[in-house]
Amino acid sequence: MIHNFNAGPSILPKEVFDEASRATLNFNNTGLSILEIGHRTPLFKSVMDEAIGLTRELMNLDSNHEVLFLHGGASTQFMQAPMNLLNENDVAAYTDTGVWATKAIKEAKLFGHVEIVCNSKEADYSFLPKEFEVPPSAKYLHITSNNTIHGSQWPDLSLFNKYGVPLVADMSSDILSRQIDFNKFDLIYAGAQKNVGAAGVNLVVINKNILGKINRSIPTMMDYRNHIEAGSMLNTPPVFAVYVCMLTLRWLKNKGGVAGIEKINNAKAKLFYDTLDSLPFFKGRIAKADRSKMNATFTIEDAVLEKEFLELCNSEGMIGVKGHRTVGGFRGSMYNALPWESVKALTDLMKEFASKKG
């Protein structure tokens, strides 16, 4: 059996793979593949409508918030968000909590002033700073809810409400994994390839009231308002990727929605971190309070043993356990679709290895 701990694209539910493969040959008994239907046909319109409707329902969105499925992955949002929200002389507040946050900051600087309100770079991004000020004049505060590479996650997102400025969040690696008040955010974006579906599409949730307040001209494809008006069909959408998102969202709803999956995610994270803490042989990278329930990062001090453990993981069918190339060590990604049994298999292997080599 393969246990897929990849950080993204990553494991999706088996039901989704089954249904998507059927649809690749014969979509809804039309005799046509999902890959060859026109995006303006009623057939695809119903897929897009259902994907948007399920997102609204699962996130419990109010009528101010619009759901978009856009091209370009989360990295395009690093640029698109400030382009739509920030005038040249405005200030945007950014939390620098890891590699992806740093990339978002770099793009925002092209459009206005960036004030970095907190930063844990000196400590290798091993914790999330909780005490910081945000200028009241900031057009928005940008956060990365889960830092995929380092393995940290803001434990309580309501922390940011007190600043009274619009909130923008990159939720690429933990969206729909835990219950939060999504309506408190004015812009949420997430590359779909972790918890939402297939690579090639970006889920964007936006409070339409924050748009239309800047002076610059925005290229047609970059203006959120055009995408809202066109129902995410301003041009040809990534049809198959949106379809896989729709199937994954259906699966999530059947699992009891975000509340249902959160219970499972908590159980997986507890199993993993309880095991990690019981084995001094392995070291966690992140301060306990800020550990990610999606991406667990850890190390072994001895590089030779680290290599050996990685080889053992591979030989036992556990793939994707190698840490990101910029930080090394190990990373077990435990997204929504990863079964509890996979975490059990990894933790059993850790115990076995530590007892032999520790």
Ligand X SMILES: Cc1ncc(COP(=O)(O)O)c(C=O)c1O
Active centre residues (catalytic): 100, 170, 194
Q: Which is nearer to ligand X, 296 or 354 (CB)?
A: 296
Structural tokens at position 267:
């159980």
Binder of ligand X out of 66, 96, 107, 170 (CB under 6 A): 170
Q: Does 74 bind ligand X (CB under 6 A)?
A: yes
Query: Which residues between 240 and 299 bind ligand X (CB under 6 A)?
Result: none
Range in contact with ligand X (rule: CB under 6 A) among 14-22, 122-130, 169-177, 311-319? 169-177
Q: Does 75 bind ligand X (CB under 6 A)?
A: yes
Q: Which is nearer to ligand X, 52 or 70 (CB)?
A: 70
Binder of ligand X out of 172, 232, 292, 336 (CB under 6 A): 172
Give min distance, CB of 46 to ligand X, in A: 26
CB proximity list for 200: less than 8 A, separation 6 or greater: 71, 73, 192, 193, 238, 240, 241
Q: Does 8 bind ligand X (CB under 6 A)?
A: yes
Please tell me the distance from the alpha carbon of residue 285 to that of residue 265, in angstroms, as a whole number: 20
Q: Does 4 bind ligand X (CB under 6 A)?
A: no
Q: Does 120 bind ligand X (CB under 6 A)?
A: no
Phi/psi at 34 (5° precision): -60, -25
Q: Which of 64, 85, 127, 35 is nearest to 212 (CA)?
A: 85
Query: Which residues between 98 and 117 bind ligand X (CB under 6 A)?
Result: 100
CB proximity list for 175: less than 8 A, separation 6 or greater: 145, 188, 190, 194, 195, 196, 203
CB of 160 within 8 A of CB of 168? no
CB of 204 within 8 A of CB of 189? yes
Using CB under 6 A as the criterion, which residues of the chain lie in contact with ligand X when the complex forms? 8, 73-75, 100, 144, 148, 170, 172-173, 191
